[in-house]
Amino acid sequence: MTDEINKQKMITIKDVAVEAGVSIATASRVLSAKGYSSEDSRQRVFRAVKKLGYTPNDLARKLKQTRTDTVGLVITDIINPFYSFLANGVLDYARKLGYHVIVCATDEDPLLEREYLDVLMKQRAAGVIAVPTGENIDYWQKAIKMGMKIVLVDREVPGLNENDVILVDNVQGSSAAIEYLVSLGHRRIGIITGPTTTTTGRERLEGYLNTLNKHQIPISDELIKVVSFKGESGIDAAKSLIELPERPTAIFAANNALAEAAIRVIRDSKLRIPTDLSFIIFDDVPWTSLINPAITAVYQPTYELGRLGIEQIDRILSDNTPRSRQKIVLATELIIRESCSLPYS
């Protein structure tokens, strides 16, 4: 009898999940009668409970100790369409997988990012999908040590190697854009990009520099503008480029917020795209195909970043075996429209 009691005490909700072939979150939802679970999942969990002898008293005690079925989504800006599409990918599939999502927007502020991580740790979130600011490695490591599952999307945190990462091929995408401009005859190509402390800012600049070097085109510091990824920072950057004594014949904006600001400056200056200035954006958001002229853009699978992020979190929570860090890199595609032409003479 004592052996049976000890055996029963050792049974956890994780054991039930493994026996049923579902995630811990799914097993928890079924047994607590909270949230949606398919009938097949419910029956598998109930069979596992019966087989293992997992009692309601065990459940009440373990639910207090285990993490919730809540997942945090940390992005930088909920208004930016890139993050809206990414969030939709997370939310759509989170519902299907049975997770509740807390959305946090950092506005590229490392202090606010720390604050949100604190909140998610206190809420005992099972996992976090995040577009990081690129800082706060100590906080990310703290969350991981506490058992929180982390999947970073779009960007990495330098030096943080314990988590899965899902990125797009920023170098390839940027290189394709500059290659196209070079093929049209452009040699004075300006770039407006984000901080090199971020994966996106650093790698998109890298693609630009690599392509210029490949074609033996001199690199001019005055044509390189490294600013915040916020739209307003693109205004001064664009002004400084088009007011140069020898202005660039083309500009490459490294995200949609910077591009929107730059186009506003270009039009206010009475310059015409592409007659006076060719223009390419990294990020094929809806407005790029709706304005006149339609803007040539580097497409990145934004919705897929979000979908893969939540699927990876679910996979980690469901897999009880040791696993190595995974890094997934998605391809980009250059969508050629009407905003580029031969350099003005």
The amino acid sitting at 41 is S
pLDDT in the model for residue 187: 97
Nearest to residue 239, comparing CAs of 190, 197, 281? 190
Q: Can you say whether the dihedral through the CA atoms of 264, 281, 178, 157 is positive or negative? A: positive
10-residue mean pLDDT series, the chain (345 residues): 44 86 85 73 84 61 58 94 96 92 93 91 90 90 88 92 94 98 98 94 97 97 94 93 96 96 96 97 95 97 96 87 84 98 87
pLDDT in the model for residue 143: 87
pTM of the prediction? Answer: 0.78
Nearest to residue 202, comparing CAs of 165, 168, 179, 170? 170
pLDDT in the model for residue 2: 38
Q: Kindly report the length of the chain.
A: 345
pLDDT in the model for residue 7: 43
Q: CA 68, CA 74: separation in Å to the nearest integer?
A: 17
Query: How many beta carbons lie within 10 A of that of residue 19, not counting itself?
Result: 18
Q: CA 45, CA 17: separation in Å to the nearest integer?
A: 7
pLDDT in the model for residue 4: 43
Domains of the chain: 2-65 (1.10.260.40), 70-168+302-330 (3.40.50.2300), 170-300 (3.40.50.2300)
> What string of DSSP letters covers 60-78?
HHHHHHS--SEEEEEES-S
Nearest to residue 112, comparing CAs of 151, 141, 77? 77
DSSP 314: H
Nearest to residue 261, comparing CAs of 289, 281, 284? 281
State the distance between the two ends of the chain, measured CA to CA, in whole angstroms. Answer: 93
Q: CA 285, CA 334: separation in Å to the nearest integer?
A: 13
How, if at all, do strands 278-282 and 327-330 pair?
Answer: unpaired
Query: How many beta carbons lie within 10 A of that of residue 157, not counting itself?
Result: 23
> What string of DSSP letters covers 223-289?
GEEE--SSHHHHHHHHHHHHTSTT--SEEEESSHHHHHHHHHHHHHTT--TTTT-EEEEES--GGGG
Residue with tokens 């250059």: 334
